[in-house]
Amino acid sequence: MGLTLDAQKVKTCAEKMGLVVKGVTEDGLSVKVEIPPTRADILHPCDVIEDVGIGYGFNNIDRVFPPNNTVGSYQPLNKFTDLIRQELAQAGYTESLTFSLLSLQNNYIRMRQEPCLSECVQLSNPQTQEFEIVRTSLLPGLLMCLKENKAEIVPQKIFEVSDIVVKDNETDTGAKNHRKIAAMVIDTSSNFEVIHGLLDLLMTKVGADFEKRDYQLVEDNEDQRFFPTRGFSVMLRGVKIGSVGVIHPEVLSNFELKYPVSAMELNFDALVSHFKVAVGDHN
């Protein structure tokens, strides 16, 4: 739809909507409007334009074709993200949307890791200790989600596909977003085979074959978040893309959880890249 009004018509429409018109410029192209204190909903000039449209009547606006036609579509990364979300949901996992901001305690210390200020993006003036940095992992947020739902029956299966942020001197902003996939299972037993099965499912969907050694699990006793001998690096074509294992009891205690938790966290971009290669090889 297209609409062109002269200043006099704009003035009339604004007055209909209860706005105070202070005057019209000599060239008749601009109208000065004062917002009365009763219109707390007007925060921006576009809100005034909306009021003018309402006063004129949206149904009175002539429909015209725009000067250039465009076709909207998904960003490929977001489309693939939605497809992964559907697969995880169909596997029986509930999606969680956790805070992007965390405290140093939750992001590092309660995860049995030393704070890495050279990695995380810090807020210069945080209003609360709970929101000091931008998260560098999805696992603390999911553990906090389980903590808030610890009164619910087990097992509980949750997942999240979202961005984390780390410092990067090669970018204009000094930081860069990285998309991650994380999932957790809490039950009366560790149920590592359940989270391992979800990992196999994801790898199958992106075209990684375990029998062909496209990916494998390598024991990683350096990752303090996981129980000794129960934490593994996920290797895809020889490159580490994430971790999977049984969460360490000390971490569970820090988040006030009394049942074992198995978790995984993967680099989403690595899965997308492998999928593109696998599809190309198949074709």
Residues 6+ apart with CB under 8 A from 42: 35, 48, 51
Q: Residue 282: what pLDDT?
A: 46
| pLDDT tens digits for range 173-187 | 888 999 999 999 999
Burial label, 137 (beta-carbon count in 10 A; 0-12, 13-18, 19+)? buried
Q: Which CATH number fits domain 76-282: 3.90.180.10, 3.40.50.1860, 3.30.230.10, 3.30.930.10?
A: 3.30.930.10
Residue 67: per-residue pLDDT: 77
221-268 per-position pLDDT tens digit: 888 899 888 889 888 888 888 899 999 999 999 999 999 999 999 998
For domain 7-60, the CATH architecture is 2-Layer Sandwich (3.30)
pLDDT confidence of residue 74: 81
pTM: 0.73
Cβ atoms of 52 and 10 within 8 Å: the answer is yes
Report the alpha-carbon distance of residue 71 to residue 129 in Å, rounded: 45
pLDDT at position 58 is 81
Amino acid letter for position 17:
M
Q: How far apart are CA 208 and CA 112, in angstroms?
A: 31
How do residues 147-206 score in pLDDT, each as one tens digit? 999 888 888 999 999 999 999 888 888 889 999 999 999 999 888 889 999 998 888 888
DSSP-based three-state secondary structure for 266 = strand
Q: Which of 71-80, 84-93, 128-137 has the lowest mean pLDDT?
A: 71-80
**Residues 278 and 212: beta-carbon distance below 8 Å:** no
Is residue 54 within 8 Å of 17, Cβ to Cβ?
yes
Pick the closest to residue 12 from 43, 47, 57, 72 (CA basis).
Answer: 57
- pLDDT classification of 2: cutoffs 50, 70, 90: low
Residues of the chain with CATH 3.30.56.10: 7-60
Q: Where in the chain is the domain with CATH 3.30.930.10?
A: 76-282
SS3 content of the chain, % helix, strand, coil (to 5): 35, 25, 40
